[in-house]
Amino acid sequence: MYVERVSVTDSAKKVLDKLKRAHGELIFHQSGGCCDGSVPMCFKKDEFLIGSNDVCLGEIHGCKFYMSSDQFEYYKNMHLTLDATEGRGSGFSLEISIGFRFITVSRVLTDAEVKNLRPIET
Amino acid sequence: MANDDEFLDKAVEGLVLFAFNQGEVCTCPSRALIQEDIYDEFMKRCLERLKAIKIGDPLDPENMIGAQVSQEQFEKIINYIDIGRQEGAEVLIGGKAYKSSKYPDGFYIQPTVFKGNNKMRIFQEEIFGPVLSVTTFKDEKEAMEIANDTLYGLGAGVWTRDVHQMQKFSRGIQAGRIWCNCYHAYPAHASFGGYKKSGIGRETHKMMLEHYRNTKNILVSYDKNPMGLF
């Protein structure tokens, strides 16, 4: 059994179920940098083009979770939990329109966990 | 300190400018690299200056900084402060929300300074709040390496008394705008845009007017007669 890099809370699962009913299959891309501000972006599968420099960290509730490989350099020893909170955000992520916001909560992985991590998909 | 004068005071003020961030500043000074041999005394003065900042109702002219722009941003900053602690960065000042007596539910954050290293996420990602990550360097070579070891390159500031050093760093740092012995000046006509992942192209300079124009080529013959090929 591998240690996962991403996991999801029950409240985020509920929001994802709603979004899936409206949009079908979904993916996440952790945004980097400037104006859309270091948040998980939820998109319809195939609507967002995954780049050749993106890596997949794992799957949460049936949704693949991506980020760019250069940003991933700083996430190598991080575990991310996708959570959802009420209140409208300002980005382009799908949940914004139904009055929720996804957030990623980070935890530094232990040395033992790092040894047994799920390999990333490139 | 060897040079205890108005310029030193200006450099301290320059560092403290990070605290004005209320949720988004494209060119926010998010990292500070300080020469090792002046670090202790310099940082002591910066922290004193930071302690004197008055936080609260922005309509009260006595206050210097107000709240963050949204709950979303407030939570994001609190999250990053937690990440910084987990990564082992040391909180030199702040590190938590600020409780305003007038607006106890307001999204206020205390000006926060972390000391850590450039490989930490708090150095590499844009937090966009009154949060600064500082580290030290030994010499010019190390300073340049750290300065350019980032995915982004929109704005940077160089503070030095040495004009040669200023020239070397303003040319060597891979960023679209370099402020020298100043920061956060945005005059009209100064080109604005980033290196690396901070963007493609530039704005606000005269040359950018080209982006808004079509080039048209009109070919006119003034001869009334056929060319005579048939």
pLDDT of residue B36: 97
Chain B residue whose CA is closest to A71: B151
pLDDT at A90 over 80: no
Q: How confident is the model at residue A35 (pLDDT cuts 50, 70, 90)?
A: low
Contact status, residue B157 vs residue B183, Cβ threshold 8 Å: yes
The residue range of the domain holding A26 is 6-115
pLDDT at A25 over 70: yes
β-bridge partners, A82? A8, A104
Strand ranges in chain A using DSSP code E only, listed in sequence order:
6-8, 26-30, 40-44, 54-60, 63-68, 78-86, 100-108
- Whether residue A121 lies inside any domain: the answer is no
Of A38, A75, A108, the CB nearest to B76: A38
Q: Could you tell me if B197 lies within 8 Å of chain A, comparing CB atoms?
A: yes
Q: How confident is the model at residue B53 (pLDDT cuts 50, 70, 90)?
A: very high
**CATH, residue A56:** 2.60.300.12
- Whether residue A120 lies inside any domain: the answer is no
User: Which whole number is the average pLDDT over A14-40?
Assistant: 88
Domains of chain A: total:
1
Whole-complex ipTM = 0.85
Task: Please report residues of B whose CB lies closer than 8 A to that of A95.
Answer: none
pLDDT of residue A34: 62
pLDDT of residue B100: 94
Give the C-alpha separation, A31 to A33, whole Å: 7
- Whether residue A99 lies inside any domain: the answer is yes
What's the token pair of residue A25?
Answer: 């299959």
**Residue contact B24–A106, C-beta within 8 A:** no
Q: What are the Cα distances from residue B165, in Å, to A109, B98, B100, B147, B220?
A: 41, 39, 43, 14, 56
Q: How far is B199 from chain A (nearest CA, A)?
A: 10
pLDDT of residue B140: 98
- Whether residue A41 lies inside any domain: the answer is yes
Q: Which of A26-35, B85-94, B119-128 has the lowest mean pLDDT?
A: A26-35
- Whether residue A56 lies inside any domain: the answer is yes
Q: Which of residues 126-185 of B touch A (CB under 8 A)?
A: 126-128, 151-152, 154
**Residue contact A74–B197, C-beta within 8 A:** no
Residue showing tokens 């005269």: B206
Q: How far is B153 from chain A (nearest CA, A)?
A: 11
Q: Could you tell me if B96 lies within 8 Å of chain A, comparing CB atoms?
A: no
Task: Please report residues of B whose CB lies closer than 8 A to that of A78.
Answer: 121
Of A32, A74, A87, the CB nearest to B197: A32
Look over chain A and give the mean of its residue pLDDT values, rounded to a whole number: 92
- Whether residue A1 lies inside any domain: the answer is no
**Residue contact B126–A107, C-beta within 8 A:** no
Q: Which residues of A touch B (CB under 8 A)?
A: 32-35, 37-39, 70-71, 74-75, 78, 85, 87, 89-90, 101, 103, 105-108
Per-residue pLDDT tens for B84-123? Answer: 999 999 999 999 999 999 999 999 999 999 999 999 999 9
Nearest to B131 by CA among B74, B174, B177, B170: B74
- Whether residue A100 lies inside any domain: the answer is yes
**Residue contact B72–A90, C-beta within 8 A:** yes
pLDDT of residue A105: 92
**Residue contact B26–A34, C-beta within 8 A:** yes
**Residue contact A108–B86, C-beta within 8 A:** yes
Predicted TM-score of the model (pTM): 0.89
Q: Which of A85-89, B82-86, B123-127, B194-198 has the lowest mean pLDDT?
A: A85-89
- Whether residue A107 lies inside any domain: the answer is yes
Nearest to A29 by CA among A99, A94, A86: A94
Return all residues near A84 (Cβ < 8 A) that are at least 6 apart.
A9, A11, A12, A14, A15, A95, A100, A101, A102, A103
Per-residue pLDDT tens for B202-229? Answer: 999 988 888 889 999 999 999 999 999 9
